[in-house]
Structure 1
């Protein structure tokens, strides 16, 4: 596992052999015609390969809390990511020992997170990016995921400014981007989506002074 971690800090990230196999199997899905189905199938295959279909949101939140992941703009290095992922998969192993190989899962999930969020090969990703990746693929209802992720960028009063919403949308769009599906979701430029969201709120007369984007999720 140590060799994998070291190789992922190099300028060109080395993919774990099992990850390379996974990427090939995802590429095989490109013949699925409709983008929504194609993307969903890729996400499901990725989710199951990383065993994140076994991870409940409460368990994920417990791991975040255990490791003090409260400052969402803080950078996490490789060793911190490994520590968090190891805790997470050790918990999963306790109830799914026949499905979860902790060292392999840690390597695979680390590999994927770096490929998605560390395109500059710095060996670090933001805490918000880590949470976005894990929560997006965990076992939970979609609306619950939306609410959790929005709370990560909202103020204590439930409001979010354009910059913070932009950070969340940027991190979210990196997942379909890495799967080769970003064009189906409007491309990588999230600014129009941010402007549209705030324009919608400001153009709603009955909620003009009371509604925040948090009420939209």
Structure 2
């Protein structure tokens, strides 16, 4: 024990040290992104999509499709947990280990990804986007929304999955859960410094649905797949065209 330091203080200090690598990797990721000069792109929608495409490619999550991502959620028991359950970094890391190890099983050896590198980078990005207080914890919902958004696959399939997470027992969208979803997905654009245009706000919510509106799956899909979609989410369809 260090002189004059209480045991709980040591624990907190050790925890900070343990959290340092993901934070520094996030900074490296952001620095590399800045070197791409995306900020010279005038149109915010395209700029945000390009930045998130860069994150996808650097972490290799764009090689994992939505169905394999959902299966990884199931394998790790996330489907059995309430959406607002908070899990430790170690469990999130275990999930990503499943994701990338299963990916390599589907690829020929010459195409294998560096699983440790991808896990570390993607975990760093998730913590940077969602763990602003450096607690080393993430909610199940934020993980599901982030990975479902950033992985490969058709946007319609991703939106169907997202709706399944925010629908009530009658098959209509739960407005409170939708607000939470919008917060989680716009945290991605905020993490790449596009909050001025694509940050969360009550205005962003109102751009999508009214509070008392009964939203079925078809209405939900039409809202986000119709051109133009709500302004706060215009980067999302474009991201799925940058392939």
Give the deviation of 1:7 after TM superposition.
4.3
CA distance in 1, matches of 2:48, 2:186: 12
SS in structure 2 at match of 1:139: coil
Conserved 8 A contact 1:201-1:213: no
Aligned with 1:109 (options 122, 127, 138): 122
Corresponding residue for residue 33 of structure 2: 26
Aligned with 2:140 (options 127, 133, 141): 127
CA distance in 2, matches of 1:6, 1:85: 22
Structure 1 moving runs of 4+ over 6 Å: none
Give the deviation of 1:141 after TM superposition.
1.3
Task: List alignment gaps of at least 5 residues for structure 1.
Answer: 203-210
Corresponding residue for residue 8 of structure 2: none
* Number of residue pairs the alignment of both structures matches: 200
- Are 1:80 and 2:84 matched, yes or no? no
Query: Cα distance 1:181–1:61, how it changes in 2: closer, same or farther (>3 A)?
Result: same
Q: Normalising by structure 1, what TM-score? A: 0.83
- Are 1:184 and 2:197 matched, yes or no? yes
Corresponding residue for residue 151 of structure 1: 164
Give the CA RMSD over aligned residues. Answer: 2.3
Conserved 8 A contact 2:66-2:152: yes
- Are 1:140 and 2:153 matched, yes or no? yes
Query: Cα distance 1:131–1:120, how it changes in 2: closer, same or farther (>3 A)?
Result: same
Larger Rg: 1 or 2?
A: 2
